[in-house]
Amino acid sequence: MALKTIVVDDHGLVRRGILEILAKHPGIELVGEAGDYGQLRTLLRRVGEVDLLVIDVNLPGKDGIDILKTLLGEMPRLKVLVVSMYPEEQYAVRAFRAGAMGYLNKAGAPDKLTEAVDQVIAGRKYVTPEIAQALIENLTAPEQGAPHERLSDREFQTLKLIATGHRLSDIAEALALSPKTVSVYRARVLEKMGMSNNAELTHYAIKHGLVD
């Protein structure tokens, strides 16, 4: 039986390309598409539970990793394939920790998406050589990794939002937290990163490709 599938990406052209590839897959039944978390929620209320979610990690309004955790808490059998513009070594480990079954870079060839979907449908995790290397490095020497790899998911989200020019009040609203809590996260980020201000965090995030 074909897996009921939703594609979530805030770039319409990218979303359309993914949909066209998946439409040719015999194991997929496309039931909808969304550009952000709000649209996804509206769609899920209409179609009910689905089997597969193909989702970008960088979405407006709510971080893709947070969305992944929320939905897997509600639908434990949901299979999630993350498709992102960010290199595997930056986000894949976080995605797998959150419950994703695969992580694919958008720069990859179209047949890689089909290959990833085949693996996920079969109940196996889709791991590229780059992801395998990142996982090994994370397991064997996490203390030697880049500073941002030591951040928790919330701290990492805070770093990204600071680096894209958001004020603490904006971040609090985006993450549904109090400004005081966000200030605590910011302090932790600065401490773990060994930095003293937002400008240094922003420079680091841009240099390491953590933000657009």
Q: Which domains does the chain have, with CATH numbers?
A: 3-139 (3.40.50.2300), 146-207 (1.10.10.10)
Better-scored residue on pLDDT, 105 or 52: 52
0.95 cut: is pTM over it? Answer: no
Crossing angle, helix 179-193 and helix 168-175, to 10 degrees?
Answer: 110
> Which is it for strands 28-34 and 52-55: parallel, antiparallel or unpaired?
unpaired
pLDDT digits (tens, 9 = 90+) for 66-110: 888 889 999 999 999 999 887 776 678 888 888 999 999 888 888
Phi-psi region of 176 (alpha: psi -120 to 50; beta: other; left: phi over 0): left
Better-scored residue on pLDDT, 195 or 149: 195
Q: Encoding tokens for residue 136?
A: 């090994």
Query: Looking at the predicted structure, is the pLDDT value of residue 136 above 80?
Result: no
**CA torsion angle 151 79 117 121 (round to 10):** 140
Q: Encoding tokens for residue 85?
A: 């513009």
